[in-house]
Structure 1
Amino acid sequence: MKHLLTRLIALVALTAGAALPTTITATAAHAETAAAVRVMPLGDSITDGFNVPGGYRVDLWQKLVGGGYSIDFVGSMANGPGSLGDRDHEGHSGWTIAQIDSNITNWLRTHNPQTILLHIGTNDMYGGNPGGAPSRLSTLIDRITTQAPEAHLFVATIVPLSFADSTVRTFNAAIRPIVQAKADAGKRVHLVDMYSALTTADLADGVHPNARGYSKMATTWYDALRSVPGSISAP
């Protein structure tokens, strides 16, 4: 019963924002320079930072600044603690791959990101067609690379779900060949193995990471960014 209650709470948190329009919260207070690389954190509540305000973006921002990189997080949303120097992002609680796909063109035109961090698909694991999620992700990737062909797109496998591990593993296994095919076609698409970076012990509610889990995500993103020349530094 306790496990079921925890699961229900997690599901409510994930779907609570699905029917709500995109809103802009507090304006980010940060210094931008002409040389700053525009990075768009893109996804659902895990990008938004459910359970831990700012989520992985807090530690990632600090690592980037500490590493001497000039970064401008971009997006129509903004939230996070004072330790997050730039709070802009495109993380939408409860959203699926298809919902991100329906809005991505306008976001890309508005914010013109040079690098995109995509972690999406968790909410698709609950729907009636999780098996179709890889195809939907492939369509989203194609839309992004067509609209922003010069941008670096980092596509992450999704983090574990405590009660749907088999479904998550199947989805994640399909992501690698999809990304490889896009890269082989000359697209600036890069795979990030986020699933292996976390365990269910790094989840606060069986779905969303706890502070330790978000910190692990930040490290994984940071290492991936540093491995691709030009993704976080001026060309």
Structure 2
Amino acid sequence: MTRTRHLLSGLVALVALLLGMASTASAASTTRADSEAAPVRVMPLGDSITDGFNVPGGYRVDLWQKLVAGGHEIDFVGSQANGPGNLGDRDHEGHSGWTIAQIDSNIESWVKTYTPDTILLHIGTNDMYGGDPGGAPARLATLIDRITAQAPDAHLFVATIVPLAWGDQTVRTFNAAIPGIVQSRADAGKRVHLVEMYSKLTTADLADGVHPNATGYSKMATAWYDALLSVPGSIGDDSTPVPAVERRPAAALS
């Protein structure tokens, strides 16, 4: 009888051990599955500069290659798609000729449809041509608020716009307002981040006085990539913090 009890106890212990091993294996499998979960959904958002006018794919080409080389699992998302063969994911939300207001009119449906985790916003160039460039900062603020309300968990990177060969002071005035707009939202707990893009390019980096050439788009890609790396979680949990995205005072833009 004692031997039987010992055998039963041994069997119970063995079963418990096997169950424990199975549970551990299952947990490990779940952890691996989680680590290999869906890639981070990144929405390049803006006008023809996001679309890649003059240089197919624009900054998205070099940015994609940098992300892949860095080992980041990324899915570009959006209703538009174009670019060369060396652009592994051609989706985006860049619309040639569009203003801030036009993006604002459509952003809710795009965010709902594509559920981006991270948004790269470069918009306002076409507003500099219009009759109310002075109202562009308020329109940008409204757009930012709409995005953060629709996608509160997404990281929104807001860039100052690149230079124009004409009307430079108009561009500078618009850009000078952006850091304050971004900072006030960040202070309120929103996941909004400034990308100082204007100072990364000069008019020599423009193909036609408005749109970047290949060198200019490459510089944009570097600025976006550095910004993404500076915010852990924006391109996956393995993002490596680097010096924070520049938050230059308005005077630095003059």
Class of the TM-score when normalised by the shorter of the 2 chains: 0.7 to 0.9
- Residue from 27, 49, 52 that aligns with 2:52: 49
Q: CA deviation at 1:164?
A: 1.2
Instruction: Give 3-state SS (helix, strand or coil) of 1:153's partner.
Output: strand
State the structure with more CA Rg: 2
Q: CA deviation at 1:34?
A: 3.7
Give the aligned partner of residue 7 of structure 1: none
Alignment TM-score, normalising by the size of structure 2:
0.79
- Residue from 102, 107, 110 that aligns with 2:105: 102
Q: How far apart are the structure 2 equivalents of 1:199 and 1:193?
A: 13
Instruction: Give 3-state SS (helix, strand or coil) of 1:63's partner.
Output: helix
Percent of residue pairs bearing the same amino acid type: 83
Alignment TM-score, normalising by the size of structure 1:
0.85
Bigger relative contact order, structure 1 or 2 (CA pairs below 8 A, ≥6 apart):
1
Q: CA deviation at 1:234?
A: 4.0
- Residue from 80, 83, 88 that aligns with 1:85: 88
Give the aligned partner of residue 117 of structure 2: 114
1:155-175 C-alpha deviation (Å, 9 max, x unpaired) = 000000000100000000000
1:219-230 alignment to 2 at 5 Å?
219-230=222-233
Give the aligned partner of residue 199 of structure 1: 202
Give the RMSD, CA atoms, in angstroms.
0.9
- Indicate conservation of the 8 Å contact 1:36/1:234, yes or no: no
1:131-175 C-alpha deviation (Å, 9 max, x unpaired) = 000000000000000000000000000000000100000000000
Q: CA deviation at 1:195?
A: 0.1
Q: CA deviation at 1:39?
A: 0.1
Instruction: Give 3-state SS (helix, strand or coil) of 1:128's partner.
Output: coil
Give the aligned partner of residue 21 of structure 2: none
Give the aligned partner of residue 137 of structure 2: 134
Instruction: Give 3-state SS (helix, strand or coil) of 1:41's partner.
Output: strand
- Indicate conservation of the 8 Å contact 1:37/1:234, yes or no: no
Q: How far apart are the structure 2 equivalents of 1:124 and 1:164?
A: 12
1:74 matches 2:60:
no
Q: How far apart are the structure 1 equivalents of 2:123 and 2:181?
A: 14
Q: Which aligned segments of 4 or more residues in structure 1 are displaced greater than 2 angstroms?
A: none
Q: CA deviation at 1:35?
A: 2.7
Q: How far apart are the structure 2 equivalents of 1:44 and 1:166?
A: 21
1:22-73 C-alpha deviation (Å, 9 max, x unpaired) = xxxxxxxxxxx74300000000000000000000000000000000000000
1:125 matches 2:128:
yes
Q: How many residues align?
A: 203
Residue type matched to 2:52 in 1? Answer: G
1:159 matches 2:138:
no
Instruction: Give 3-state SS (helix, strand or coil) of 1:42's partner.
Output: strand
Q: How far apart are the structure 2 equivalents of 1:75 and 1:223?
A: 22
- Residue from 27, 35, 48 that aligns with 2:38: 35
